[in-house]
Every structure is written in C-alpha cells, then in structure tokens.
Amino acid sequence: MTFDNNERSGANNAFFSDFRPCYEAVPPLSEGFAVSAYLLPLSAPLLLFGASIFGFAHKERRSTLVSILGECAAFCALLVAIASLGFLVLHGPGGSGLWVWSGIGLSTRLDVVSAAMLLLVSFVGWIVVRYTRTYLDGEARQGYFVGWLCAALAAVLLLVQAGNLVQLVAAWIATSLALHRLLLFYPERPGAQRAARKKKLFSTIGATALILAAALIGTSFGTTDIATINTLARTSGGNGPVIMAAAMLALAALLKSAQFPTHGWLTEVMEAPTPVSALLHAGVINAGGFLLIRFADVMLAAPGVLAVLAIVGGFSALFGALVMLTQPAVKTSLAWSTVAQMGFMMLQCGLALFPLALLHIVAHSLYKAHAFLASGGTVERVAAMRRPGPVAVPDGLAVGRAFLIAIAIYAGSGASFGVAFGFDHKSPQALVLGAILIFGVAYLLAQGLADAAPRALTRRTAAYAGAAAVGYFALQTAAEWLTAGVLPSPPAPGRLEWTLMVLAVLSFGLVAVAQALFPLWTMHPAAVGARIHLSNGLYINALIDRLLGGWDVRKAS
C-alpha cells in the first residue's frame, strides 16, 4: 500500500495543503485488514519503546526485571519482523500509515529492503539485549542502560521501515541521541567523553544535511512518501535541487558511517560496554548505507555524487584495512575493520551496486556482532593455545602464481555460472567488484603456495578460493533477484565510471600484493616506520582532536 501518491505537477502546493490520509487497497485483501497488516512492523519499535520507558523508571536500580522485560520486547520485535516477512512473501510490497497527513506521522514501507533490515536489526538487537542481561548483571545503573539500549533499537526499527521523510529524519536523530547516551554510560572516562564529543559533532552535521536533503526532496517531488519519491526520480531524472539533495544524502551517509577523515570516534568507543560496541558496529553504523539504498533512484540522478562516494569509500576501505592489520588490541582491530567495511559498502553504492550493498550490510552485521560479543572468549582461547611453529611466508613467485590462479578461478566460475544461469547480462561494475574481492582470495592462495606450506594447506586454500568465487556470483544473483523492481540496476558506465573502476582495481590489487609480500620486508627500516605510522592511523584522529581541542568536554554530556 502507498499513501500521498501526488503527481509531480502542482506538487509543491499539494505538499503543504493536502491534509487527507490516502490509502490504496491491495486486492484481494479488504482495505481495513490490509491497513492493519501493513502496520504490523510498527508494533516492533512500540514494544521496545515501552520497555525503554520501564527501564528509565528504574534507571538507578539493579533490576533483573528490567533486563527480562527488555529481552522479551526484543524477542517479540524479532517475531514481528518474521511475521512481516511472511506477509511480504504472501501479499507483496506495500505500505500504510497511522494518522498520516501529507506524509507527516507514523508510516511503514514494507518491501524487501525494509524486511531484510527489520529481520537483521531485530535479530542482532535481541542477541545484544540477551547478552546485556548477563554482562551488566549487578550494574548499579542497569535500568538506565537497558532503557537507552531498547530506545536505540526502537529508533533504528522506525528508521528502516519509514515510509515518509518526516519519520525517517526523526528516527535518524533519535538513533543518534540514544547512541550518544550509551557511549557516555561511563561518563567519568576521558576516552568515552572524547569519542562522544566527536560523535555528537559529526552526528549534528549529518542530521543537518539530512534535514536539508529531506526539504529539497519534499519540495522538488511534492510528496514525503519515499516510494513515490523514488518512482518520480526514476522517471524524471535529476535537476539542481535533486542533485543537491543527493549530495546532502551522501554527506549524511558518510558521516554516519564514520568515513575518512571523520572515522576517529568509531575507533574510540571501546570505553563503552561491549553490548554498545556490538550494537554500534553491527547495526547503527549501517544506517548510512541504508539511507543511500533507500534513496537509490535519487542517487542515480547525481552521477557526480556517486563518484565522490566511490572515491571516499574506496580510500576509507583501503585505509581502514591497512590500519587494522597493525592494531594489537582485538576490539580496536575490529573497529578499524568496520571503517574498512563501511568504506567498501560506500564504494558499492558509488558504483550503483545497491543490491550488493544491502547484502553487504546483512553479512557484515552478523559477522561483526558475533566478533564483538565473542572477542573476550576468543582472546582467552588464543592465549591458552600453544605457540605455533614457523609461518610459511610466500615469495614474489608464489604471490604472482596465486594472483594468476585466483583470476583464473574467478573467470572460470563466472563463465560456468553464466552458462548455467544466463549470467552474461552482468554489469561491468559488478564484475569489477568481484575482481576486487578475488584479490583477498589471492592473498589466501599465496599462503598455500609458499614453499614451506604443507600440501593440506595448499589444497584447502584452493578449495576456499573456488568456493569464494562461486559464492560471490551466487549471492550476487540472489540479491539482484530478490530486489528486482525495488532497487535499480546500475546504469551503463561512462568515462568517469570506467576511470573509477580501473583505479579501484589497481589500488586494491597493489595493496593485496603489498600485504602478501609484507612479511618479506618486515625488518626493513621503511617497513618498520610505515607500520608505526599506520598503527597511529597516520595521525588523522590526533589532528581532529587538536582541531576540536577548544570544545568543552562537558558539552558532550
């Protein structure tokens, strides 16, 4: 179901004067049942908001009941997400609203994007709340923490299902406010204050950019209904206000996803409790990518903005990955990994590969939530392990063979997949992205092809390489099939897009080769110096701290 389906002609007047709720029935359901069914996802955040209010009422207590109620609300939200997916499969995408006038009010847009995000957020949220019940058992301010945790989850759930601009902006801001309180759960810690201060600054700038984008979009298309906006953008193309709106959306997304050079706060949130890190890195940080995916048709109207996204995202991915390898602490390494992963997702959006970006969000969130929640136990197990023997270091010849074999596996898998599934229509952007991913496979192959590597390792890495190549094509095809009609396909690349793709392949390829050969240069003075500089993030975060040094820390609270 959709609402406020205004035509673009005379739309500016309708934007301010149409105050009547508009519903379009979805056969064969009755109108009343259809409205109620499509409103089902809204019950998930309402349950969590109720649990958060109860937590705030007991914020200074060690209340087991608060944790139990929060866990029950999160689990019920997961059940609602599953039921919403079932309704989507049976009756198709649609939307509805509750007291919606001119797009102002609570509304939901149920399609494959929102259903995937609802399932992801509710599942990760339930795991995090369940973990919190044990992690904060006996904490003096347990109710306060659970209250803000449930509020943050509720805000994210409202965001991912938002059917109108007003709700999306309000949920975006509410998510930042709730996360800010969680980051300052231990306000006496200087590290928490510093991270929250920078996060507040960048969140404020991002929220301002999103508000400007919403105003430009609303006045340009004459409606606040997101589905209608994407439809109009798909048919009408871009003009000055729409391109400016796309630029503001990109700015908001980059700031939300902690992209270079505003990434510093994300690597400093380790002072907050572990559940906050898991929720942030597996959930909230993905809001930037979701914003771009939700307004994919608007973004396609601004190729120059997409190019900037690809450049910033690609550089952030390489930068974050290199710094991650130099970090001695597991959680700090995971934080830099998130910077790199969000950069790669921005690169995907910049190449207009929105279905793959959605797939990336799901995969990264599940992996990163598990990584943070299991990091403590993993460190203990590694510390108890016996020291490994000599490591097989590949030489230049092994690295060269590994890259050639990886490219051959990728080409062979793509050709075989194309014969079986009609894969010859794949966009150049998707093929280039697969080539970038296969460089990681080449790194693994290089370890197996080293002279000192056992034969079992060689066979295992070769099998992994083939599985990764086939898995890429299979998941890509599945994502495109599931999002067909909801997310646009990438357009034919022009000169700018080809230039960016060639630069991306060369950059990621050179970094992969350097990473594989780095053990051979470990003791070289230049390598030692580079490692020191990279371990400090090239001092970008220190420079930001100095620039913000005059901002009173108390303003972050």
pLDDT of residue 170: 93
The pLDDT, as a whole number, for residue 151 is 92
All residue ranges of the chain with pLDDT < 50 are 1-33, 419-423, 552-557
Cα distance between residue 432 and residue 436, in whole Å: 6
Residues 6+ apart with CB under 8 A from 120: 283, 361, 362, 365, 366
User: Cβ neighbours of residue 299 under 8 Å, at least 6 residues apart?
Assistant: 246, 249, 250, 292, 305, 306, 349, 352
Q: Distance of CA 95 to CAs 14, 40, 49, Å? A: 20, 10, 22
Class of residue 78 by CB neighbours under 10 A (exposed 0-12, middle 13-18, buried 19+): buried
* pLDDT reported for residue 552: 47
What is residue 205's predicted lDDT score, i.e. its pLDDT?
93
What integer pLDDT is reported at residue 369 of this predicted model?
78
The pLDDT value given to residue 491: 87
> In this predicted structure, what is the pLDDT of residue 67?
82
Task: Give the mean pLDDT of the chain.
Answer: 79
Question: What local confidence, expressed as pLDDT, does residue 394 receive?
Answer: 64
Q: Is residue 267 a contact partner of residue 336, using CB atoms and an 8 Å limit?
A: yes
The structural domains of the chain, with segments of one domain joined by +, span 34-163, 172-376, 390-520
- Which helix (H) or strand (E) covers residue 261, if one does? none
pLDDT per position as a tens digit, 90-110? 877 776 666 656 556 778 888
For residues 220 and 239, is the Cβ–Cβ distance under 8 A?
A: yes
